[in-house]
Structure 1
Amino acid sequence: MKGTVLQRPGRWLTWGATAVEVRATLPGDEFLADPDIVSTRAVTIDAPPEAVWPWLVQMGSGRGGAYTYDWIENLFGLDMHSADEILPQFQHLAGGDELPLGKNGPAMRVEVLDPGRTLVFRSVDGAWVWGFHLRPNRAGTRLISRNRIALALRAGPGRATYRLVMEPGSLIMERRMLLGIKQRAEGAS
């Protein structure tokens, strides 16, 4: 049902995030005001935000990858090859830039670019908003990832399948991505 956000407590949609982070309104939330699913996941990185930022801006298909399981990404034709170094040619991202998801996937448009703080993408069809938020803390940086998704399937078996397969699958991939960024940023600091 429209308007009911599936932000259940639990690890699938809130892995690593504090209750405050889960409840927080973050830049980019306004681009999809009435999502069906919201995930907020986070990790603490022992490095300052400026050491994490370059890893975020180079992400993408045919760019620095997604720091996940490349072989899974590439089963879906996403052309992901996760970099283990900062790639200077992909450090110049601007608002409005569109990054494709593979050769045939939808593009993700840069909607918010606040260097060292916030990077928000929105799919060109408007059904997905994905934000990355860097918050300095005593340990270094909190990297918060927020996904807001509108589903075409409002009810029935397709929605149940999505919840049972895609939500845990997204946790597996996003957890790997967050830990991959953490490992790379800490190693480069």
Structure 2
Amino acid sequence: MNLIIKGLTGAALLAAVAYGPAARRWYLTFGATPEEVDAAMPGDELLAGAELVSTRAVTIDAPPAAVWPWLVQMGSNRGGAYTYDWIENLFGLEMHSAERILPQFQQLAVGDVLPLGADGPGMRVEICDRPRTLAFRSADGTWVWIFGLYPHRGGTRLVSRNRIAVPKASPGRRLVSRMVLEPGSLIMERKMLNGIRDRAESYLPEPELVPA
């Protein structure tokens, strides 16, 4: 019995550390500076009362114009999400991450609706300001996803912000949901941000040689 109690106590302490304030902030703000976390982004107003907000970022050694094409082609049966396709497709999302820019998916515009899998909710394009801001809102209005591209030392800071209205539930169920959602979303989004970075950096055109 003592071993069981010690085991449960240890598990509880581990969970408290893994979901303490410092850990939770890391989950929600990975890669972002304090200034980026606090800064307003175009599209914040689309879900002003969001209970869950994450702001994550990556530095890309490529200009915003070279990053933008990888963003606008994202989606189910489009360019994918540049993350773990096998996990996405366990949920029927039909994500197949592209390794090249797909011309047929470059003409994204406000009002376009991108499905998340065959039965998933549509994500409507609310802001499409090339090559600065791309913002989506789910059909049910509970999720807004914003991408901001900011020039930075000859390259780009790509900032991804999720604003989510958490469904009504008991406090315990909401806590468990967040303990799964927040670390899980970090795993997927970190892979996505790094995937966009690697593609944008490796796809840059070779500089033209200037005759001597």
Q: Same fold (TM over 0.5)?
A: yes
Structure 1 spans left out of the alignment, 5+ residues: 1-5
Q: How far, CA to CA, are the matches of 1:179 and 1:117 in structure 2?
A: 19
Please list every run of 5 or more consecutive structure 2 residues that lacks an aligned counterpart in the other structure. 1-20, 205-212
In the other structure, the counterpart of 1:40 is 55
Once the two structures are aligned, what percentage of the paired residues are identical?
67
Give the secondary-structure state (helix, strand or coil) at the position aligned to 1:122. Answer: strand
Of residues 146, 152, 167, the one that matches 2:182 is 167
SS at match of 1:59: coil
Task: Give the alignment partner of residue 77 of structure 1, picking from 56, 67, 92.
Answer: 92
1:163 Cα deviation (Å)? 1.2
Moved more, 156-165 or 144-153: 156-165
| Selected match of 1:188 from 203, 206, 211 | 203
In the alignment, what sits opposite 1:3?
none
Q: Which residue of 2 aligns with 1:88?
A: 103
Q: In the alignment, which residue of structure 1 is the partner of 2:71?
A: 56
The structure 1 residue matched to 2:138, chosen from 110, 123, 143, is 123
The amino acid across from 1:143 in the alignment is L
The corresponding residue for 2:40 is 25
Pairwise CA RMSD = 1.5
- Is 1:112 matched up with 2:127? yes
Aligned to 1:157: 172
Q: Which amino acid aligns with 1:121?
A: F
CA distance in 2, matches of 1:169, 1:86: 28
Partner deviation per Cα, 1:57-93 (whole Å, 9 max, x = no partner):
0000110000000000000000000000000000010
Judging by fraction of residues, say which structure has more helix: 2
Q: Say which is worse superposed, 16-25 or 154-163, in terms of deviation.
A: 154-163
Normalising by structure 2, report the TM-score. Answer: 0.84
User: Which structure's CA Rg is the greater one?
Assistant: 2
Distance in 2, matches of 1:137 and 1:61, equals 30
Deviation at 1:158, TM superposition (A): 2.0
